[in-house]
Amino acid sequence: MTDAPQASERPAFQLKSTTVSLTALELAFFDEDSFELALREKIRQAPGFFKDIPIIVSLDNYEGPTGELDFFKLLGTCRRHNIHVVGVRGGNDDQRRLARHAALAILPGNSRQDRDTPPEASEPAPEAAPSAPVEPVAARVVSQPVRSGQQVYAPEGDLIILAPVQAGAEVLAAGNIHVYGPLRGRALAGVHGLESARVFCQSLEAELVSIAGHYKISEDLQESGWKAAAQVQLRDDLLVVTPLERT
């Protein structure tokens, strides 16, 4: 007899690539009391959105002293409010070391230094090859309603939905999002950083709309264009809602 697993046995797990949208908390400085006060105010504005949400802490614009960056206190505050920090983006070597000690994942930052690797001084820069024509990326078209709990993603182009997006659903696109019906869930356009992306819908009733990481929740969206045909775009780092003219 042998305890070796049989070839026909099903493996305990498989690794597969996937895409999950995460909210980034962009930290400017850390003071435990100020942090919790600001967090409580955000949760008060949209309690349903923040319940059990996974987030990453972005240090790309952190200006406070590294010695005041206490990830254990930050994690404790977030957990008390049912918010789960899964990783840290950006930061310097000392800040990333502190994050590792708190058992947080380390993600690359958005700064140019984090994205680019300079060539060695002894190596000549490669000659630029003639640019080839860029093939247009076909939009993803969805004709069925996007129901609560569903996520629909267009990783390379626009997302066109010919039906309603229900509350609790999430739609994401590298480009624009078009919803030919009510938009009641979450819509995240320009997820790879395309600031010119827009969200179009026939009735704006969204829980959240985001473009290139900038977002507005339903309470803010209700100030203009609510339950009407509208477009959402980014202007000077602010989301602007304007009505769609009907002919």
Paired residues of 153 in beta bridges: 172
In whole angstroms, give the CA distance from residue 52 to residue 50: 6
Give ranges for CATH 3.30.70.260 in the chain.
23-113
Tens-digit pLDDT profile for residues 115-170? 444 434 334 444 444 444 445 567 999 999 999 989 899 988 999 999 999 998 99
Tokens of 203: 């009735």
- CA 31 to each of CA 43, 62, 63, 171: distance values in angstroms, whole numbers, following the listed order: 18, 12, 12, 35
pLDDT score, position 1: 52
Task: Give the residue among 176, 221, 209, 178 at the shortest CA–CA distance from 195.
Answer: 176
What global pTM score does this model have? 0.57
Give ranges for CATH 2.160.20.70 in the chain.
140-243
Amino acid identity of 122? S
Given 3.40.50.2020, 3.30.470.10, 3.40.366.10, 2.160.20.70, which CATH number is that of 140-243? 2.160.20.70
CATH superfamily of 23-113: ACT domain (3.30.70.260)
Torsion of CA 29, 33, 37, 43, to 10 degrees: 80
- What would you report as the CA-atom Rg of the chain, rounded to the nearest whole angstrom? 22
Tokens of 178: 């078009």
| Segment 47-63 mean pLDDT | 85
pLDDT band, very low/low/confident/very high, at 79 (cuts 50, 70, 90): very high
Contact (Cβ atoms closer than 8 angstroms) between residue 94 and residue 67 = no
